[in-house]
Amino acid sequence: MAMQAHEIEAMIREALPDAKVEIRDLAGDGDHYSAIVVSESFRGLSRVKQHQLVYDALKGRMGGVLHALALQTSAP
């Protein structure tokens, strides 16, 4: 069962309301996406911590329903 890009975006925005989110379906299969997430919440955090916040927002779907997510994060 694949996820839609709008579902991923909505989950990230729910956890990080100020985030600017751009999702791209890399393979057209609903399993391989890239995401660019810019949020003030990332300021002062390591890249690993930033990515963890995004993965937490996906509530355990990473590696299951969502097979692959190439992630770029930054503070504004």
For residue 1, the model assigns a pLDDT of: 59
For residue 2, the model assigns a pLDDT of: 75
CATH architecture assigned to 5-74: 2-Layer Sandwich (3.30)
Domain boundaries, the chain: 5-74
pTM, rounded to two decimals = 0.88
For residue 73, the model assigns a pLDDT of: 98
pLDDT in tens, 30-75: 778 999 999 999 999 999 999 999 999 998 777 677 778 899 999 9
Q: Is the pLDDT of residue 24 over 70?
A: yes
Three-state DSSP class for residue 14:
helix
> For the residues of 32-72, what is the DSSP string, one character each?
EEEEEEE-GGGTT--HHHHHHHHHHHTTT-BTTTB-EEEEE
Please tell me the distance from the alpha carbon of residue 42 to that of residue 25, in angstroms, as a whole number: 24
